[in-house]
Amino acid sequence: MNNNFPEIRWEFIGDYVEAFINWLDITFAGLFEFIRVISFRTINGIEGFLSFLPWWVLLIIIFLLGWYFKSLFSGVLYAFFIFLVGTFGLWDVLLITIAIVLTSVFISLLVGIPLGVLMAFSKKFSFIMRPILDAMQTMPSFVYLIPAIFFFGLGNVSAVFATLIYSLPPVIRLTELAIRNVDKEVIESAESFGSSRWQMLKKVQLPQALPTIMAGVNQTTMMALAMVVIASMVGAKGLGEQVLISINRIDISLGFEAGISIVFLAIIIDRVTGGIADRLQAHRGTD
């Protein structure tokens, strides 16, 4: 008895997908070039600015951020973490990683927050976007490297593109949730004073929703940082590249140093963005 599953191939689906990707590449070549140029210049600009700063100035900035948003001990600890990364000889690649993450997060917020607002205002648009966001969050992150390479080639721009797709859903979802959960009595009060939809969004809904939106910013930033190692497979520089090199060489020392450096950076970003959200929540509670 033959228990093998019948061999059925849907080769035409692959042909359609390939044709669609080729159509996108030709039709939107100008858009992809614009994205490439903007991403490339942004990464280089941030990296150049960070490289221009003396190392001790960056340590002071990290210390002040930790002190202001968390505590004095946190500020000292975060600055010590970054100092340790420098002692590993990974200072330059750390700056590249920060530049890639900041660029990815900036573009994610630029795209994600308006989409979240639109989803909050339109149930139809939300109905369309939710399965797309589900697919973006559940698709293996390695898959995002394929279109990144196809459209942008190897390098940091491909890393930003792949990271953008991977890290975008949290800020969209939490922005929608935050605006939908704004107190209806506050909205009704604003409407009674004749506020337009734009005035309502700008002066009532966004300020009320800001703490939750900041939680989305935190999640997006952490997911962008989590993509750093995977993005190194498409030629992205930074700490992720050092992890990849250590795997190829079976270099335990380099792997540990690069890995713990990513952990340090993740802790600092998570605590600082979380501290910003806590301060906004506390400020909201005193209003």
> What value does the mean pLDDT take over residues 128-147?
82
Determine the pLDDT at residue 244: 84
Residue 72 lies in a domain: no
Determine the pLDDT at residue 2: 62
Residue 80 lies in a domain: no
- Supply the pTM of this predicted model: 0.83
Residue 67 lies in a domain: no
Other C-beta atoms closer than 10 Å to the C-beta of 79 total 22
Say how far apart CA 95 and CA 225 lie, in whole Å.
Answer: 13
Determine the pLDDT at residue 284: 58
> What value does the mean pLDDT take over residues 37-66?
88
Considering only CA atoms, which of 42, 161, 154 is closest in space to residue 103? Answer: 42
pLDDT above 90: residue 6: no
CATH code at position 207: 1.10.3720.10
**pLDDT tens track for 253-278:** 888 998 899 889 888 988 888 887 77
Considering only CA atoms, which of 266, 264, 163, 55 is closest in space to residue 256? Answer: 264
Domain count, the chain: 1
Determine the pLDDT at residue 286: 56
Q: Which two tokens stand for residue 280?
A: 């906004």
> What's the one-letter identity of residue 223?
M
DSSP state of 236: -
Say how far apart CA 161 and CA 151 lie, in whole Å.
Answer: 9
Q: Would you place residue 12 in the very low, low, confident or very high pLDDT band (cuts 50, 70, 90)?
A: low
Residue 75 lies in a domain: no
Say how far apart CA 129 and CA 124 lie, in whole Å.
Answer: 9
Q: Where are the alpha helices (DSSP H) in 53-122?
A: 55-69, 72-87, 91-121
Q: Which H or E element spans position 48?
A: helix 29-52
Q: Would you place residue 63 in the very low, low, confident or very high pLDDT band (cuts 50, 70, 90)?
A: very high
Arithmetic mean of pLDDT over the chain? 82
The parent domain of residue 281 ranges over 11-52+88-286
**pLDDT tens track for 18-29:** 777 778 778 878
Determine the pLDDT at residue 143: 79
**pLDDT tens track for 185-203:** 777 776 676 667 777 777 7
Determine the pLDDT at residue 281: 66
Determine the pLDDT at residue 1: 56
Residue 162 lies in a domain: yes
CA 82 from chain centre, in angstroms, equals: 21
Considering only CA atoms, which of 130, 141, 120, 159 is closest in space to residue 240? Answer: 159
Residue 58 lies in a domain: no
Q: Among residues of the chain, what percentage have pLDDT more than 90?
A: 9
Residue 37 lies in a domain: yes
Residue 233 lies in a domain: yes
pLDDT above 60: residue 68: yes
pLDDT above 60: residue 285: no
Determine the pLDDT at residue 278: 74
pLDDT above 90: residue 82: yes
pLDDT above 70: residue 11: no
> What value does the mean pLDDT take over residues 11-19?
69
